[in-house]
């Protein structure tokens, strides 16, 4: 089954503490049915610096990062009117295309 929501899509949260907020999808975790949206569902993690680590961004302190949102709690934003829409699949020339149900706009 093709992914209905993909990286770099604009989505709106339809349920939960960030309801009504919009953002860009940073990554999709298909195994756990979660999406990570830029600036939404921020969580704090206490992190200790690891001098043996080769990562330059490894710092100590309280780190804020995006937490996962279940895919059923977000809806894709229709590019025509900016409102939430469902997504359908159409087959054209043997390829599957995502289509906004609200306006019929192709998303790929």
Residue-wise pLDDT tens digits, 16-73: 999 999 999 999 999 999 999 999 999 999 988 877 766 656 678 888 999 999 999 9
Q: 42-75 burial, b for 16+ CB within 10 Å, e for fewer?
A: eeeeeeeeeeeeeeeeeeeeeeeebebbebebbb
Q: How many CB atoms are located within 10 Å of the residue 32 CB?
A: 9
CATH number for the 10-48+60-80 domain, one of 1.10.10.10, 2.30.30.30, 3.30.70.270, 2.60.120.260?
2.30.30.30
pLDDT at residue 2 above 70? no
Q: Is the pTM of this model over 0.85?
A: no
Element of type H or E holding 96: strand 95-100
Q: Where are the domains of the chain?
A: 10-48+60-80
The pLDDT, as a whole number, for residue 59 is 74
Residues 6+ apart with CB under 8 A from 13: 19, 20, 21, 22, 23, 37, 40, 69, 73, 74
As a whole number, mean pLDDT of residues 69-86 equals 94
The pLDDT, as a whole number, for residue 61 is 86
């Amino acid at each position: 089954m093709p992914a209905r929501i993909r990286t770099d899509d604009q989505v709106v949260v339809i349920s939960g503490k960030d309801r009504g907020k919009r953002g860009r999808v940073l990554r999709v975790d298909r195994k756990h049915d979660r999406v990570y949206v830029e600036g939404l569902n921020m969580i704090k993690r206490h992190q200790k610096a690891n001098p043996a680590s080769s990562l330059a961004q490894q710092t100590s302190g309280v780190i804020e990062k995006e937490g996962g949102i279940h895919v059923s709690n977000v809806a894709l934003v229709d590019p025509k009117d900016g409102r939430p829409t469902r997504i359908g699949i159409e087959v054209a020339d043997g390829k599957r295309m995502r289509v906004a149900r609200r306006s019929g706009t192709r998303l790929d």
